[in-house]
Chains A and B, each alone.
Chain A
Amino acid sequence: MSSATLKAAKTPRARGDVVRETSGKFSAIDRRDFLKAGGALVIGFSMRGLVGSAAHAAAAQGPFGAIPGPDPKAIDTWLAIHGDNTATVYIGYVELGQGSTTSLLQISAEELDLDMSQVSTVRLDTNLTPNQGGTYSSSSIARGSPAIRTAAAEARQALLQMAAMKLGVPVGSLEVSKGVVSSKINDKTVTYGQLIGDKRFNLKFTGTAPLKPVADYKLVGTSPTRNDIPDKVSGKYVYLQHVRLPGMLHGRVVRPRGQGAYGAGAKVATLDESSIAHIAGARVVRKGDFVGVVAENEWDAVRAARDLKITWDMPATLPGSDHLYEAMRAETTNDHVVLQRGDVDAVLGGAAHAASGKYHAPYQMHACFGPNGSVADVTKDSALVICSTQDVYATRNTVAGVLGMPPDKVRVQYYEGSGTYGHSCYDDVAQAGAILSQLAGRPVRLQFMRWDEHGWDNYGPAHVGEVRAAADAIGKIVAYEYHGWHHNWCAVETSAQLALGTPAAEWRLGAAQQVNPSDCGGMYDIANVRLVNHQVPGLKYLKGAWLRSPLDLSFSFASEQTIDELARRAGVDAYEFRRRNITNERWRGVLDAAAKAANWQARPPAANVSSAKIVSGRGIGLGTHLTSYGGAVAELEVNRETGQVRVTHMYGAIDAGLAVNPAFIENQISGQLVQTVSRMLLEEVTFNTTNVTSLDWNSYPILRFEECPEVTAFCVQRTDQRSTGAGEEVMAAAAGAIACAFFDATGVHMTVFPLTPERVLAALRAS
């Protein structure tokens, strides 16, 4: 096991702190004890994820129990130094398999002059860790690191002052290595642990300490390995799905197989509780239209949910996935001009080369590999809810809402589940688990079944994009217009809808839910631009939320094909055409990096020189989410007889500013490339007029080993730029590159994805 493993590895008992009684209950403890225990007591188990059922009640008495969590203005909120000269860093961002926890520890260790074996962290917990906002928009490093870096620098400054006193030398004479402070004046040394070990700093966090110059970095910019991987391969890692509470029941929700229209919800028509009488120990719990079953034994809960006789009223109001785009396009929409520059209409008409197209992108799902779950212990006046949320504080508020409890009585604790890639069912399952526990009067572990997760996800919304663009005779893009139709994200989870009858509602329109200027022509220098967002009324459609790189794949699919069409009409190579239209050096950097990785050489379009059964093509694309710069090249083969598309190699490059751990970023790029191929070739949520019909891996296939391309990932290191996101910013570029590669191979633009054989054959026939 790596020495920088989460504190779970350090047994609190070894440090002399009794943290869990045999009953599984905690004695009253405050956060100071958590500090001394290395923060490990909430996970005081050996092999199992056994958590003290009364832990929430005890810790709520601690000094940090009240909203909004630990005081961000105190140094002690951010880190603690232990007697053994190690540090615990309190991080408000969750580990989702991207390695950001290790990256944030690198940053902390860098500022503190510790090595990686001396730093660790604790799991997120509303009673323990600071509220840094949610772990989304690839923000862990971009938004998470400034506070952590500054707090570490400030703690180091305080430690140096203590050392100067202790050693009787001026602060200016001190140096630190691995937490050992030495003076240039005399031979004396003292460790951080000796200076403050397990005592509070009791200092206000002012954010004024000078930061270490980037040129002096020893750890940041290098690639120490992930600290969670050894336990993940050995089976020791405790996922959410492993967590158990003493005295708990197993629960399952009972819902229609596949959601209907978000605004319609689902109403119980008939329910026959006697239908599960043959399963002793299982019983139905119900609140409004929220129905679940609980049982002592997990298999009994599964059987009870399966066998329960229940019928639902669900209106047949959905357009069905076969008629989705016409329906969206026919809606009365809430329109908003996102960007207006110059005079698009005047220029479009008279330009030398023009291109336009109508493009369509389906609903896609998070499809968490391990369905979401939660473990909840709700008593009369407090609640502990353990789940895999991206934001423990936001989840606390919504759970409190469904329980009818003040948020400060609810404690939410994070355990990693399988990769969520956005707002999957984790809030819904947290609420559902809490409701089951409240109704059952016992702790409950709820595990969503595969059809719950697939059928009741908050899907990445479908999209219709209509693009027009024009270039002059020398291949300079002169006008660009993008109209985008899609609906917003859901603001009310299914559990609240069913249990309380809370009406469905959507988010307020934000940057991530509308036409994205960075993807839609923003990388190119274009004088005349108009971007219009057409917000479709979402309550008539499926429940939506952010799905990794929200809407960006859809924008890039439409936009980059339009750019390629202009290049083709201008008779310029696709890569060269893009270079001519970009002055921003960071966009150029990723474009060049991707092209170089793929050894891109200008050549005539593949479709012009081959009419073989299987044709090869390559495409280049650019895109991002909200920050950073992504470039990609795709190489693929199209079988003109079967319509089968096989992506053979993906190349991806990112500029995310200062890369704290370049190897993690390369792994992220690699995953993004593979996931994008999956989404472009295979993934589409299907539904009829009543409900979703994509309920398992057969009806919602994702990419498999035999379909997986080679991948080449490249991280552009920019030590002069602040760190920005790296968890999703290559996907749009990759989506565009795949579409453009298909165009190169066939001379045909695909106007809808995924690129299924049927669609490909239809497009080839129509051309």
Chain B
Amino acid sequence: MAGKLRIHVNGRAHDVTSAPDTPLLYVLMNELQLQGPRFGCGLAQCGSCSVLLDGAEIRSCVTPVSAVKGKQVTTLEGLPAWYAKQKRLAKAPALHPVQQAIIEEQAVQCGYCFNGMIVQAAYLLSQNPQPNDAQIRESMNGHLCRCGSYPRVIKAIKRASQAMSAATEARVEEEALLSSVQAGMAR
């Protein structure tokens, strides 16, 4: 093996031994032992293997591991911390709001596709915090589900969107309060 390749996944550096042309998915599954990204088609058609690369959704089944060098990979497992960083939260929540909303909507049937569903939905909400129905459908259209969970996934994304904006408002109020207190103290 000619030299190790260093990749960054969920905020940590990993030296991997796989050949550079190995699809990222196999490295995440077999070397890093992650269970979020999973094999679905190997053809970038279904979204089962989705991860975020520097915050944008990609298909890890067709992305050579060498292509992620120097970039940040975020998997399902890393979404709560990624979200916390994005929202400047002091502590990562146990679950990303999309994950929480999916539990609340009981949207899952077999659940195998939900890695991709959650990763894509988290990406969507990071770009468009309050998507309408058509925008959700358009953004999610590249993710397939055999069980027919789409209607509940749409509901869950709307629910997550509401939860996130409520959290953001609370944080903004808190920060405003904090800065006014600080300003008061400075005077």
Contact = CB atoms under 8 A, between A and B. Distances in A.
**Dominant secondary structure of chain A at its interface with chain B:** loop
B112 interface: yes
A389 interface: no
Contact of B148 (A98, A370, A675): A675
B112 A450 contact: no
A402 interface: no
Interface of A: 47-48, 96-98, 225-226, 228-230, 232-239, 241-242, 297-299, 302, 367-371, 416-419, 421, 447, 449-450, 663, 667, 670-675, 678, 696-698, 702-706, 708, 710-711
B108 A697 contact: no
Nearest to A713: B151
A228 B23 CA distance: 29
16 contacts: A97-B111, A228-B111, A230-B103, A233-B111, A235-B36, A235-B75, A241-B39, A299-B19, A369-B46, A369-B146, A418-B112, A419-B110, A450-B40, A697-B41, A705-B143, A708-B150
Interface string B38-54: 11111101101000000
Contacts of A297: 18, 30
Nearest to A711: B151
A670 B111 contact: no
B147 interface: yes
Nearest to A47: B33
Contact of A667 (B109, B136, B144): B109
B62 interface: no
A419 B151 contact: no
Nearest to A223: B106
Contacts of A708: 137, 148, 150-151
Given A228-B111, A370-B112, A697-B46, A706 B148 contact: no
A235 B137 contact: no
A450 B106 contact: no
Contacts of B102: 229, 233
A137 B154 CA distance: 30
Contacts of B109: 97-98, 419, 667, 671
B58 interface: no
A242 B37 CA distance: 10
A236 B144 contact: no
Contacts of B75: 235
B148 A97 contact: no
Contact of B18 (A234, A299, A416, A421): A299
B160 to A, nearest CB: 11
A239 B95 contact: no
Nearest to A666: B106
A418 B110 contact: yes
B130 interface: no
A235 B152 contact: no
Of the candidates B40, B75, B76, B77, the one having the most CB atoms from chain A within 10 angstroms of its own CB is B40
Contacts of A671: 109, 147-149
B26 interface: yes
Given A297-B18, A299-B19, A418-B110, A237 B35 contact: yes
B140 interface: yes
A705 B136 contact: yes
A365 to B, nearest CB: 10
B40 A236 contact: no
Nearest to A240: B112
A421 B35 CA distance: 23
A225 B152 CA distance: 15
Contacts of B142: 704
Contacts of A667: 106, 109, 152
